[in-house]
Amino acid sequence: MSTGAVAIPGHANLLKRHQLQQLSLFALVALVCVVALLSIAIGPVNIPLADVLRTLAGVAGLPAGEVAPQHQAVILSIRLPRTLLGLLVGAGLAVAGAAMQGLFRNPLADPSLIGVSAGGALAAVSVIVLGGTGLAMVTDALGSFALPLAAFAGGLVTTLVVYRLASSDGRTSVTTLLLAGIAINALCGAGTGLLTYLADDQQLRTLTFWSMGSLSGATWPAVGSLAALMTPPLLALPLLARTLNALLLGEAEAGHLGIAVQRMQPIIVALAALAVGAAVAVSGIIGFVGLVVPHLLRLAQGPDHRFLLPGSALLGGALLLLADLLARTLVTPAELPIGILTALLGGPFFLALLLRWRRTAL
């Protein structure tokens, strides 16, 4: 019972795991860099890696060599904003997924499955279709933030509704959670469909990508507003890692450990909804990123949020960029909607998870 128990293997193993977690974070940073370079280099026009590095050096204000002007133009006006957009969207969705799974104490809580993305999309579509009419004054005043803020509000409302429906007495029912998700997805889908029916031709073109998800709307202003909205959740959620760890024990148990549960839960909900809303506003509904990424990391390194949240941001960004790379190169010169790609990959993954989860009956 003495506290001087240093030579016990459990202790050494946990320290080793922490070192491994830190190493894998470095590895993930490297992965993000590699994938980002690939994403900038590969496309209808393939750009030599040297030109990519020179252009990036020039952007960073470093002395850069000569670059073919059309290569530079492609990088600066198309590939670079798209890459940054992909990184931010992937990071935001994965971190929001990990945070929601912690909040709901359930590894199956993905923002797209439980209807948060759909709620955000419905709100954003409302802005697009009704924005020219009664809401004109509001949307004009908010400018490029109107869409992301609306999506944030939509995501927030649906998260709250799902949370209230699925939780009672500090326990969350998986069945209720997923069923509530189905109902909310259906409702929001119907609302979006109705608005689509009302939309004119030009609006219809804008709307198409909501239903399928795409990064093709990548412009510098979009990157700017996304970065502004994504910064709070990406910075703050990893700082709440210990709170999320404690919440996994149960709401009452977290309270007994000194966590101000009543105050922290709404903050986590709001941050996660902000990340999902901002992502949905620029790229539509891209499913399963928030499910697959944290799950892979948990399999590799355990569920500790102090590693899981930063790891999710990095792996989420890298995976979404890879998916986008596939989406725009598989059928060139056309482009697959990335949401279809992630659903094709994520759907079977989710089913496998569900089967395993039922077998182990956790």
Partner 1 sequence: MRTDAPATSGAVSHRQAPGAKGSFAVLDIGVRRQGRWLLDGVSLSVGAGEVLVLLGANGAGKSTLLKCLAGDLRPERGQVQLNGRALHHWSALEAARRRAVLPQASPLSFPFTALEVALMGRIPQGGPSAADMEIALAALGAAEAEHLAERRYTTLSGGERQRVHLGRVLAQLWEPLPGDEPRWLLLDEPTASLDLAHQHSVLALARRWASSGRSQRGLGVLVVLHDLNLAAQYADRVAVLKQGRLLEQGRPQEVLRPQPIFDAFGLPVRVLPHPELDCPLIVPRAPR
Residues that bind partner 1 (CB under 8 A): 1-6, 8-11, 13-15, 105-107, 170-172, 242, 245-246, 248-250, 252-253, 255-261, 298, 302-304, 360, 362
Helix (H, G, I), strand (E, B) or coil at 5: coil
Q: Give the contacts of 220 (CB within 8 A, at least 6 positions apart).
A: 81
Distance CA 353, CA 345 (A): 13
R_g (Cα) of the chain, nearest Å: 21
- Chain mean position to CA 110: 10
CB-nearer residue toward partner 1: 297 or 323: 297
Q: Which is nearer to partner 1, 5 or 334 (CB)?
A: 5
CB of 359 to partner 1, least distance (A): 13
Nearer to partner 1, 24 or 106 (CB): 106
Q: What are phi and psi of 171, to 5 degrees?
A: -115, 145
d(CA 14, CA 18): 6
CB of 48 to partner 1, least distance (A): 45
CB of 103 to partner 1, least distance (A): 12
Residue closer to partner 1 by CB (options 170, 232) is 170
Output the smallest distance, CB 259 to partner 1, in A.
6
Q: Closest approach of Cβ 155 to partner 1, in Å? A: 24
| 104 vs 210 by CB, closer to partner 1 | 104
Which residues 6+ apart lie within 8 Å of 318 measured at CB? 28, 31, 32, 35, 87, 90
| Comparison of 11 and 164: residue with beta carbon closer to partner 1 | 11
Cβ contact 233:297 at 8 Å:
no
Contact 318, 35 (CB under 8 A): yes
Angle at 72 between CA 71 and CA 73, to 5 degrees: 90
- Residue number, 79 or 295, with CB nearest to partner 1: 295
**Cα separation values, 332 from 36, 44, 146, 245, 339, Å:** 20, 7, 33, 44, 17
Whichever of 48 and 302 has its CB closer to partner 1, that residue is 302
* CB 78 to partner 1: min, Å: 41
C-alpha–C-alpha distance, residues 101 and 104, integer Å: 5
Q: How far is the CB of 228 from partner 1 (least distance, A)?
A: 31
CB of 275 to partner 1, least distance (A): 21
One-letter amino acid identity for 341? L
